[in-house]
Structure formats: C-alpha cells, structure tokens
Amino acid sequence: MDDFEPSRFFSVSLCLRGEVNGYDIINRRDVSCKSLQMEVAMTGSEIRERFLQFFKQQGHTIRPSASLMPNDPTVLFTIAGMVPFKAFFLAQGELPFYRAASSQRCLRTNDIDEVGKTARHLTFFEMLGNFSFGDYFKEEAITWGWEFLTGEMKLPEEKLWVSVFKDDDESADLWHKKMGLPRERIVPLGEDNNFWKMGETGPCGPCSEILYDMGEEVGCGRPDCKVGCDCDRYLELWNLVFTQFDRDAEGRLHPLPKRNIDTGMGLERLAAVIQGVKTNFETDLLRLIINETAALSEKRYGQAGNIDCSLRIIADHMRAITFLIFDDLLPSNEGRGYVLRSLIRRAMRQGKILGLEGAFLYRLVDSVCRVMGLAELTNRREGISQIILTEEERFLSTLKQGTNILETLIEEHRREGRPTITGAEVFRLYDTYGFPVDLTREMAKEAGLSIDEAGFSEAMETQRRRARSAGLGPTKEVPVHVDAVIRAKTEFVGYERLETKARILEIIKEDKPRPEAREGEEVEIILDVSPFYGEGGGQIGDQGILTKEGVKVEIVDTQSTPYALLHQARIVSGWIKEGDEVTARVDRRRRMNIARNHTATHLLQAALREILGAHVKQAGSLVASDRLRFDFTHPSPLTDREIRRVEELVNERIRGNIPVSTFTTTLEEAREAGAMALFTEEYGDKVRVVKIGEVSLELCGGTHTQATGELSIFQLASETGVAAGIRRIEAITGEAAYQDIRKQQETINEIAERLKTEPDRVLEKVDQLVEETRTLKDNIGHLKQRLLAIRIEHLLTSVVTVEGIKLIAAEIEGMDMGSLREAADSLAAKLEGLSIVVLCSVQEGKVFWVTRVAKELTDRVHAGKLVGELAKITGGGGGGRPDFAQAGGRDPDKLHQALARTLEIVKSYLTVPPFFLTE
C-alpha cells in the first residue's frame, strides 16, 4: 500500500490475486482501484510522457491539456488536439511560439451508440499531437513521426504502413526515399480519406496516415483486405495533416503563405499496440476501470458479449464524466450540462443491465484518478464523487417511475402493432418524469420499436417558445460563425481606455461577410482595435457606440471569438463599409457598474473561503451591470449568521479602499504564487492576474475597479441551491445597491405614514397590529362556531323522513368546504337512527357540496354518486367514499334546483335493489 487514504466513498477489503487475459490482476468485491494492478510493457502515462519529451527535444513548447469545454462558439466540446490552437493557425503577426506538442483530452459524442460495441470507439480519449504554425513542414513531421514510433516506441517497421493523398507525390517520396519505406507499403487514397479541409472554402491540405497491421486474425479475412478496408486489421495510429492550400469559392487551390502542421494520434490506440492487446478497452487506460466495475457487479469481463459491452460503456463514460466535472461542468438540462447528465444516466442504465441497482458510479472516480495519474484530479476526487453520487440519487428517484411508464408504453405498442412511440409520449416522459430521450430511444430499440424524433423536437421547440414568452431561458442567441468568416484579428485596448479610433475590418450578417450596411440594419462588426470587452469569464459584453461624420452605430453587445471581437450592432443613422475609420466609445457608466460587480465577485469568493473553508471553489458566475451571480461548491445552505458575516466581511474590505492591481506573468508563476483560476477561463503561457491587496489573487481577464472603495457597498440579495453541492449567491453593489436601499427606506417611510407612527417605530406598530389581528381572528372563530351551532340546531327542525331514513338537504350561506364538512359531521352525530345529510354553500361564485351517509345505508345510497349527481346540475362534479363525499359546481343559479331534486334522487336510490349500487 502506498499513500492511499480510504474516504467515506471508498473502502478497502481483502483481495485475491489472479490472472485475467494475461494480466496480473487483483480481483475482489467492493475494493478500491488501488488494489487493481496491471503489468504492462509501457503504461499509457509513460507513453504520454515519452511523446511529450521526444517533441520537447525537437524544440516544441509543451502545452498542458486544455479544458474539454473550449471558449469557441463553433464547437460544444474539445473534439481534437488542434482545437486549442485554432487561433494560432489563423492568427496574423507574432505568436508566443511556433512549435507545440500536447496530449489533449477530447470528447466526442457523434458515435456514442457505437461505444462498447467496437474495439476503438470512445467518447473520451487523449490525442497526442505536434503542431507547427508556419514553421517546419512535411519532411520534419514525417521524419519525427517515424522516429518516434520505430525508435522511441520500438514498433516493428514491417508492421507499419502509410497512406498518402493520391496527388501528394512529395509525401510519398519522403516516405520512400528518406524513411526507406517500400513503395508497396505506401498506399495512395482519395480526397475522402486523405485530404483535410476546414469547410467548403478556406485552409486545407493533404494528409498522411501511419497505420499498424494488427494481423490477419483481426481483419475481415477477405483475400483483398488492404489499407483502406473498413475492418480493424490496419489500425490508423497517426494522422499527419499538411495544411498548405487556401481553397476559393470556385474550388481552386492557392498555396498558403504560411504552411502548418497538425497531427493527431490516439493515446489509447497507441497503448493498445504497444501493450499487445486487441482493443482500446484492454489497455491499462481503461481495463482497470472495467475490472473495478466487474468486481462491484460480481461479473467477469470476457465472459459474455452484452456484459462486456456494458462494462466498456461504463469505463468509457466514467472517464468523460470525471473530467467534465473536473473542468467545472455540472449536470443540467441544457447544453453541455445535459450531455454530462446524459452520460451519467447512460452509464447508470448499463449498471442496471449488470445488476447494479443503486448508486455506484461515484465509487469509480478513484479508479479514474489512479489510471490517469494526475495529482490535480486526485485532489478533487471527493468533490467529483459527491456531485456524481447526488446526481445518481436524483436520477434513481425518477428512473423507476419513468421506466415503468415506458415499459407499459412499449408493451401497448407491441400489442397493438404500432412500431413508433409518438413524439408527444417521448416528450411527456422527458418533461414530466425527467426520463432521458436517449434512454427512451435505447429501450425502444431493444424492443424493436422507434421513436418519433421529429415529433419530439417539435414538442421541445413549443416548450422553448412558451418559456421565452414567459421570460424564461436565454434572452439572446449567441452567434455561431464558421471559421472561414471570421479571419480578422482585434486588438483589445479596453483595459487602458474606453474610447479609441478604429477601422472596420469586416461586416457580417447571417454568417456571411458584407461590404457595407445601411441605416436600420442589424449586423456584426469586427474592428482592428476595440475598447469593447467581449463576453467571457462570466462577464457580459460591453455596449456603446461607433461614430463618424453623419454616422451613428449602436453596439448592443460584444462577443469574444478565438480570433476577434464580434460587435453586435444596429445602424442608427448613415451607412458604413469595410475600411471605414470610426470612433469607438464604450458606455462608461455601464462599464463601471460591471467593473464594480466583477471586483465584488473576487471579494465574495475570498470571504466565502475564509468563512466556510478552502473547499469553496467557483462553479460559475454572471457579472452584469445591475447585479452579480456567483455559484460555488458547498454542501449545505448558509446559515443566517454565515450570510451576515460574508456580507459584513466584503463591506469591511470595501471600506478599506484596498488597491486593485493587475499584472501579466506566466501561467506557471501565477500558479506558484497561489493565484486562483476563474470558471471556464482558458489561459495561454502569459496570463493576467488581478490582485486585491493581500485578500485575493486570481487569474482573470475581466475589467475591475482601481480600488475596492469604488464599490461603495455590497448587498447580498439571495442565497440558494442550484445543483448537488452547488450554492448560488446573488448580490448588488454601487448604484444598484444604493437604489435598492433607497427604495426600501421609501417603503418603510410610506408604511410609517399609513400606520401613523415614526419610521423607527414601524416594527413595534406592526407587532401591535399582528397581535390585534390574531385576537380578532380568534373572536371571529368563536362567533363562527356559535353561529354554526345555531344553524345546526335550526336544521335539525327541518328533517324529512323517507322510508324511515332521516334526510337533511339544505344550503348554509357563506361556508367554505371545511366548514361544510364540520357541519355535516355534527348533524350526522346528532341525528338518531339512519340518516343522510346533504349540505351546500356558495362562496366567491363557486358551489360547494358535501354528503354524508350512515355506514349502514351505503349498500343502498352511495355518498359519492349522490354528490356527483347534485354537483352535475350546478355545472360541476366530484365524488368520494360510500359514506362521505364532496364536490364543486360553477353555476350558483342552479343550486336551489339541485336541492329541490335531492329528495327525488334519494328516493330513486332507495327503490333500487342494493346490488345495483355497489361499485
């Protein structure tokens, strides 16, 4: 045992050592992943490190893996190793480095249905890559690729094949003449396989793939099987992309002035080859998680296809789930959070197939931590486990109900020969019971049915429209642009000044460039220089104006892209065109309010960590001009005392007028200094640090005040829970806080005036009124009781006898349903012998009915049926037990007509044999 410390989530028990598929494994039930060991020639972690060190020796800057959630509007997740470098490939001017290498964590869900069923499909994977931004090109990329695989990884040359684009003779010659690869192992392929493009136009270029022959026993067995076959024999290890052309609208290729290299090699695939296994799932990067799950479910991997598939899916999804939460994503019903929630629920469904009924995924986080070997991941193991556990428990509470309903639906459809579950039925499961659409789809497919995808989408869109009309959901659409449209680069100068001269580089409308825009049009504008802050890090974008002679353009929002600032604009007067010189001016008052709220979030986080503990970590934020919202990790609601202390501490530091300073340093130096990183922020080598005296040190690209005193006051508006282990504080500062305090004071003054007292005596006067009201209510209650008693005595004189049964049918004015029930009970108790009581009343235009029947009579007169008939006459309905029932009506004018028929209806029941009345 090393330094593993058991927690409340994980337990260690006795282990039995055994051998499975050639690996030395300790298999056991309910034991930490610490005890699962694999002996392999080279672990995945060692391969990763060897790759990065190899390219470091070739002059590459080694970049850490970026977040799975890129700050890029064109993609939902980081889907390839080049995503964090997109701006580098398109940027103009000086770059911080021209060679880079990384092992980038990636997430793809487009082939999620194939995960577990094939040898290679994964949702989460690591992409090893080396990149050149206008530096080296084909010869170096090919040379280093071959040297790494054959020299560093010791792969046998006779097992390696390459493919090239059919027209790329240069690459083919390099492989043959320089690397010595026989011509017969250099396979030319067409554009579909070996030509990369960003879109229909724009940067593109040929590819060269390095493939490994996995052996005839793995392939399709056909005699003509070769590179390019769909089977698993020739495994693509490494794809080398040579970006050397710019394709125009007519399809012509023009050489790029700066050629780029973009390579990608799946770590899991390379590990499978080096470790001598046939699938990604048998590598140490996944197999230990599979073994952990197998132990929990008392199953064995390799025994049955469906069991193996479930174990593989869980192992794959657990890596994705763990790292999405590590990157500060939380389960939700929208966007990226919905993908996370779906992955958790898909994995839970596979657990159910394995016989795991309760929560279990949270116990696998430790396995993922040990497999990946990242200290920062291990340090957050407990928090990640807690979020998963809470999500599992929440889903388990709805899963059973949704599953039962869906199984009933499936049975009905199969019995009636209907092959498709309607969109309305799918939406009801999703909307009412929280049942995931993908699970509905899977369960339907297993039963040989399909779902109406279009009908479901239509129902979802209808719901979104209702939500928007009710003021719910997002208030604006964030523009999404293809890379080919946004090529310009903006220099942001908004930290130093709020007004500057600028030139219009691009005008965009509906994702297409426009040469000009005229009065009344709404467009997006890219400037060469801009003082406008683009939305990011939780801070909303700036507003303001662009002006020139005869022209006024209103900037209603500013969005960041990986390449430029996108100014959403409305042409108020005049017209603009590309190349125009304008004056760009930010709304100063609005910016200052935003700055106050942003500085307040830093003070708030510092106060929360000081009062609640160092476990507090930002989990989301909104910095607007009128308020701030701050989400943070904490397991329970704050007490009134904690809320008061947080507010006091922030205001104490505001009164201290502590200087707020910013400086730029390296990411490594900032981390060593203890700087905290804000939510979803991406950082390069150089980072901006915001320092508030000795109180706060955070990496932040937002705008801030120069001193805390500029906030004036901090007022905490609310503290609520938004997700498992996540709390939310909303607050206001400065002008908004002053206006709120002023409004509260005006309200107090108005109340004091109405109560004819002084403002400082309002509370005393209110307490006095509350006590007087309570006394009056008690007196009214006593009077009602006395009045009811009198009415009951009066009603006892109006008894009608029907075939020896006492009947009272009467209206009591001004009674609610509760009072009617009480009156009926009292009358029934006072009547001797067999009795039926029918009472009604009208209140606020509604009719209330109550019937009580002696238990000895219920075989002849059913209280529920009797009240139902009477209520129907007054335009309503109801029912209940045989001895007591109640109902309502909408037509008070028919009340006396119904009462007049009571005797007739009762007589009709008494003349019918008892067995006709039973239910």
pLDDT along the chain (919 residues), means of 10: 32 31 31 46 91 96 91 82 82 77 93 88 95 94 96 94 94 94 93 83 89 84 82 89 88 88 95 92 94 92 87 96 90 84 90 90 94 86 87 80 84 83 87 75 86 88 57 37 55 95 92 90 94 92 96 94 86 94 96 96 95 86 94 88 96 97 88 71 75 94 95 94 83 94 93 92 92 92 84 88 91 86 90 90 91 91 92 89 91 92 89 48
pLDDT in tens, 327-377: 888 888 778 888 998 899 889 989 988 999 889 999 999 999 999 888 888
Q: Looking at residue 598, what is its pLDDT?
A: 97
369 burial class (0-12, 13-18, 19+ CB within 10 angstroms)?
buried
Mean pLDDT for the chain overall: 86
What pLDDT score was predicted for residue 724? 67
* CA–CA gap between residue 695 and residue 654 (Å, rounded): 11
> Which residues are CB-neighbours of 430 under 8 A, at least 6 positions away?
436, 437, 440, 456
Residue 453: alpha-carbon gap to chain centroid: 22
The H-or-E segment that residue 191 falls in is helix 191-194
pLDDT of residue 808: 93
d(CA 591, CA 705): 10
pLDDT at position 817 is 86
Beta bridge partner(s), residue 111: none
- Alpha-carbon Rg for the chain in angstroms: 36
Cα 261 from Cα 140, distance rounded (Å): 10
| DSSP character at residue 120 | S
Give the residue carrying structure tokens 């199969």.
Answer: 414
Contact 565, 558 (CB under 8 A): yes
Query: Given this model, what pLDDT does residue 1 score?
Result: 31
The H or E element spanning position 272 is helix 267-274
Q: Residue 429 in contact with residue 406, Cβ under 8 Å?
A: yes
Q: Is the dihedral of CA 664, 665, 668, 671 positive or negative?
A: negative
Q: Residue 257: what are its φ and ψ, rounded to 5°?
A: -65, -30
Q: What is the DSSP string of 657-726?
A: T-BEEEEEEEHHHHHHTTPEEPTT----SEEEEEEETTTEEEE--S---SBGGGG--EEEEEEEEEETTE
B/e letters for 532-553, b = 16+ CB within 10 Å, e = fewer, are bbbbbbbbbbbbbbbbeeebeb
Q: Please answer whether residues 474 and 557 qualify as being in contact, where contact means their C-beta atoms are separated by less than 8 angstroms.
A: no
Helices (H) and strands (E) in the chain, counts: 23, 38
pLDDT at 678: 55
CA distance 811 to 665: 84
Question: CA 114, CA 666: separation in Å to the nearest integer?
Answer: 42
Neighbours of 190 (CB within 10 A): 11
pTM listed for this prediction: 0.61
648: how many CB neighbours lie within 10 A of its CB?
14
**Contact between residue 568 and residue 521 where contact means Cβ atoms under 8 Å apart:** no
